């Protein structure tokens, strides 16, 4: 799995790391049980802070896509449907688009509710 960041992009580096892993899960390149690179190793290879990597991994853990175990590293959750990662990525893109046109959270949620009907 290839994880890249671009400091010139407006997205925070931790978000870029999380997005790379999400894409790998969605594309089937990182199925359940796949071990992610260690935080120190990845931080060194990307030339970023270990805290940046850990923040990206934390986002993925909060989304239910990976498990973080102290001393054991990060692994993709077994049974994580590939589609979930894709939907999470699309949701992030939707939120970013809504922010660019100054929609607040309630307006965005209402638009999603209408679309889901």
Cβ atoms of 99 and 59 closer than 8 Å = no
- Give strand ranges (E) for 1-117: 66-69, 73-76
Distance CA 102, CA 66 (A): 31
Tabulate helix, strand, coil % of the chain (nearest 5).
55, 10, 35
Distance CA 78, CA 47 (A): 30
pLDDT in tens, the chain (117 residues): 789 999 999 999 999 999 999 889 888 888 889 999 999 999 999 999 999 999 999 999 998 899 998 888 899 998 766 677 778 888 888 998 999 999 999 999 999 999 888
């Amino acid at each position: 799995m290839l994880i890249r960041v671009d400091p010139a992009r407006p997205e925070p580096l931790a978000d870029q790391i999380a997005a790379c892993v999400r894409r790998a899960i969605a594309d089937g390149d990182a199925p359940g049980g796949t071990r992610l690179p260690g935080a120190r190793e990845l931080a060194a290879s990307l030339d970023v802070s270990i805290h940046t990597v850990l923040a990206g991994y934390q986002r993925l853990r909060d989304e239910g896509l990976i498990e973080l175990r102290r001393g054991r590293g990060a692994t993709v959750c077994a049974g994580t449907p590939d589609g979930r990662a894709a939907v999470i990525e699309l949701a992030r893109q939707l939120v970013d688009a809504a922010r660019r046109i100054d929609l607040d959270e309630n307006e965005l949620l209402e638009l999603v509710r209408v679309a889901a009907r």
